[in-house]
Structure 1
């Protein structure tokens, strides 16, 4: 079986495929019918212990932080600052959930929609009773993607057969049904477009409605990317068309124009597309006032940079006037995103990378300038004033560029770019750079650089040489309310940036594509295939022994001094309304590396992980690779999200220092790690290597080779029960294709072990 899957990854259905209507197979359901859940609609924190009247000891309390608009709490008159003391006359406790807040939420859930939740609260020093009629949480229609792959005529999967034989189909279906129900519920009532959940992606809904289809979804996405990235050149128009469709935008299909006969015609086409994009942008932003445009800029910077900084390093003005995130999100909904992103799509479609590569060694045969253009030569650099805007053309010398332009074309030489280098900046919302050859240095100490589209579009194309890219934030293939693209067709290149860079998308598309060479990528956070709210972040690598590093700057509060946030390397991320009312579904982050012996170095939230209605994918197709991370990584879905790491071949090493990784689903989420061949080693701490927690699905599948699995506890096919929801979690470890395998938690070769709470560890020939 393992060999078949290695030959055709779509055959992973043999292991995991589950029918969408699995409950129809359950002849006699045991679980009681689902009851409508009530929604109180508040955010909480633990309050100070207090003496209640008639009590002998201090009682725990909860403090109301925020009240969602239109919620049951708002209708009943519950206010921020109220202290909750008891429900239905019973004081608060940690209960069987071992959590004060979880037990309180359980009491709300058990009360149910349509009933009265009787609260005892303290307000202004006075205790009072407050009856709250519970209404259900608002819902919204759920749309999913149609199947990409034709259904194969295959027998029931291994997972399906095991669940049926052990009478666990109903338990599986109950957990999936809870996930499906949650996709219908409003993330927050403080942010609304035409409906609630205006940023939710259909692709994420698809996976959460059918979690065992995650491998097929990931395979379909990465296969489409590969078809647009063949032979060292990127079909930029095809990729952006596909990206916009993944973000659920309609793409107008127009007949392609004539192929340019020469470089002059191509430059004219690019200038026209860039200028036309500027006009579309004005129309897309027309509903906004100048203050609202300023709010968008401040909100983008706050979410991706300032909110991470220690107070002593954050800009004083940003501290005094932080943007309200709900206001920011509602303002973003006023933008005509369809029109704004289509403007960049038209530019991407005008790029003809194949022709540029064909012409690069024969540039002297072309005349670059149209009749009627104003030409101002200044040494090796020529300033060209066209009817569309300024174009700068550099000769084959070692040029330095400090000025931005609509289009910069450099014909060769070892150049230095100290400008935006194809980025959205004041005066140039759309910009492009084409550098034909040379060992170039791109250096920016300001935000928005090197293929960054922020409320616009930025395009940087480097056609060869050993290049260095050094930038701060919003750079190197970053798109926010726009499209940012960086294409490098070869050489040993180095990329360094801080935040939101190297293939990062937020309400737009960010793409970095590297054809070949042993490349190095270094970032602090939000990078290397990062998808934020309704964004798609893409990092594509064709070949070479590459090194990816993300982290090392921002400590994670769970392990201060030991761990750092990465939020990178195939990571999809959303805003969870936890202490605040602002909330938004996440985006899609994809890192796809075709071949080479690669090193992936991350920490918390990295390497094929998703958080809060986000989807993260890391796909490596060939080579002996090393994956090192901390927590929530290497195929991890966290809080109603999905993450998957797939490695097609090679002798690979996976290290997750803390755990909650290597095929882990936590809190109604799904995580997969799939390795299709080679002698592999997996090392983790806890809740890893096929672990489900909080009603999640966690899967590790290794198809072939002599493999080693080392873990401290809670994994290798382990699912924890969840007292709050009374639903199961599912942890699965399948090792197929034979081999002499080793397991630290009691697994054996050629044997199936069923673990309580609910787990499967199967080693199959």
Structure 2
């Protein structure tokens, strides 16, 4: 998987960076830089500080990494490798990924255990029924800490305030209400919310799906909201289960208000909307074959959830996913999961899509095929406050695009907003950031992105991007991209093997300033770009086999050859002029 020696190589980064600091006679300056960053963390730790930065929604792992930046690269390498290995375990992938998310979100360990293989279609169907009931009970426990009046305040405001009213990535149009909503989300029992998702997770195992595919399809029920064959209907305390036939069906999911689960046995199907919210807090869609089309404009669809838990499993076919906001493995105060097992798929959305979370977990996993992803903002492995967002495409030559819709709000970096592809970001003057991760298992990939994207951290967030192999192109059209940290953020980008091209000039760049403190060169941003193997090209002018400090004392770009590569150049590169952020 990628470079087999990567773990050991990255562990040596700390020694190499320390040697570089000594060579430049700036060791004391770097220590002061790190100490000041730690001091700012201490001074801003309280929930109310009188400053625009407070400690609400701050994650312990972020705090640890920012206080120990030289160890961050090695920890990030181990974390992303472990996370990708968990995804590759098809039988237990979701259970393992959710366990990792729990740890990083400061939640207690799960009691979920490995489920034995399903032995028959009826047993698999019984597991679906039991999972829905267990998920509904855990969801109720998750919201129990909120009063009825708090729920009435949070439910109608979460989407407009945290999503639809906004066209800039770094903050909200209504920051006061946004802070209030984040405070309410902090009261939710996120451990119980993940328990609801863990109840559904075993259904993603291939043995369960193969048994479900053998369910009889002889029935022909008439159901308002479904065009095509419905083979069976089952009513449970958690909602209705529909079994769709093997022909082509159309499901108008928002007309099926009592339906909590659709299992479709095959055919080229169409799924319209299907919101997951307080009115339908658990939603499960399992499609077992065909070239399917998922489309809608409502939030909380296609494995998206608002104050709920949603999971979409598509087992085969070349599929098209079209949505607007909060969709395709995305969550607002909940858990959203989309897992596509095969085919050449296309994903299109606008805001908070494709592995995004604010107050919960958002997961998009695509196991195979040459896939295309398009989004405008807060997408493709994005972690907002108290969020863990993951996009992992395991194989294929893939194309990712994030940005292109709204103007960047910072006049010194003209361009378009991006905020995606492995970005952890807080909301300025509202809440600290979460953890955003994008992983790609291999293939010759193209990444297009605008401002603050691809392995980026902002406002006390952690963002990571990792490509395990292939000749990749990183096509930046905005500033602060490709392993960058800004406003006390930490961003890391790894690429292993292949002849890669990095456009733009921000590779591994750490902004020198943090606007809310008076000493703009004293610390707060840390950035890493590490590329091992291949003949690579960098828009910032770096050469192969190079160690550079980028921007402030916290920015690093390291390119090293594989052992079997002959290049032995030693490049001395002057420290670039510090840029204003």
TM-score (norm 2): 0.86
Superposition map of 1:139-538 within 5 A: 157-164=15-22, 167-186=25-44, 189-190=47-48, 197-230=55-88, 235-297=93-155, 298-308=157-167, 324-348=177-201, 350-356=202-208, 358-359=210-211, 363-364=213-214, 366=215, 376=221, 380-381=229-230, 382-403=232-253, 404=256, 405-420=259-274, 423-538=275-390
State which drifts further: 677-686 or 596-605. Answer: 677-686
Structure 1: unaligned runs, 5 residues or longer: 18-156, 311-317, 578-582, 706-734, 741-748, 759-765
Query: Partner of 1:71 in structure 2?
Result: none
Is this contact kept in 2: 1:665–1:691, CA < 8 A? Answer: no
Q: 1:200 to 1:634 in 2, by over 3 A?
A: same
Is this contact kept in 2: 1:572–1:611, CA < 8 A? Answer: yes
1:621 maps to which of 468, 484, 499: 468
Q: 1:572 to 1:696 in 2, by over 3 A?
A: farther
Structure 2 Cα separation of the partners of residues 561 and 692 of structure 1:
17
Structure 2: unaligned runs, 5 residues or longer: 514-523
Q: Provide the secondary structure at the position in 1 that maps to 2:138.
A: helix
Q: Number of paired residues? A: 548
Query: Partner of 1:640 in structure 2?
Result: 488
1:9 maps to which of 1, 6, 9: 6
Query: Partner of 2:510 in structure 1?
Result: 664
Post-superposition shift, 1:737?
6.5
Is this contact kept in 2: 1:637–1:666, CA < 8 A? Answer: no
Post-superposition shift, 1:327?
1.9
Structure 1 Cα separation of the partners of residues 153 and 176 of structure 2:
7
1:591 correspondence with 2:438? yes
1:700 maps to which of 551, 557, 566: 557
2:455 maps to which of 608, 612, 636: 608
Is this contact kept in 2: 1:611–1:640, CA < 8 A? Answer: yes
Query: Partner of 2:529 in structure 1?
Result: 673
Q: 1:689 to 1:474 in 2, by over 3 A?
A: farther
Is this contact kept in 2: 1:284–1:337, CA < 8 A? Answer: yes
Is this contact kept in 2: 1:442–1:468, CA < 8 A? Answer: yes
Please list the CA deviations of residues 290-309 of structure 1 after superposition, one character each: whole Å capped at 9, or x if unmatched.
Answer: 44224323144312221228
Q: 1:165 to 1:441 in 2, by over 3 A?
A: closer
Q: 1:296 to 1:170 in 2, by over 3 A?
A: same
Which one scores higher on RCO, CA 8 angstroms, separation ≥ 6?
A: 2
Q: Provide the secondary structure at the position in 2 that maps to 1:610.
A: strand
Structure number with larger C-alpha Rg: 1
Q: Provide the secondary structure at the position in 2 that maps to 1:406.
A: strand
Is this contact kept in 1: 2:380–2:391, CA < 8 A? Answer: yes
Query: Partner of 1:739 in structure 2?
Result: 567
Please list the CA deviations of residues 53-75 of structure 1 after superposition, one character each: whole Å capped at 9, or x if unmatched.
Answer: xxxxxxxxxxxxxxxxxxxxxxx
Is this contact kept in 2: 1:6–1:703, CA < 8 A? Answer: no
Q: Provide the secondary structure at the position in 2 that maps to 1:482.
A: strand
Post-superposition shift, 1:666?
3.9
Post-superposition shift, 1:211?
0.7
TM-score (norm 1): 0.67
Taking only aligned residues, the RMSD between alpha carbons, in angstroms, comes to 3.2
Query: Partner of 2:502 in structure 1?
Result: 654
Is this contact kept in 1: 2:365–2:393, CA < 8 A? Answer: yes
Structure 2 Cα separation of the partners of residues 757 and 479 of structure 1:
40
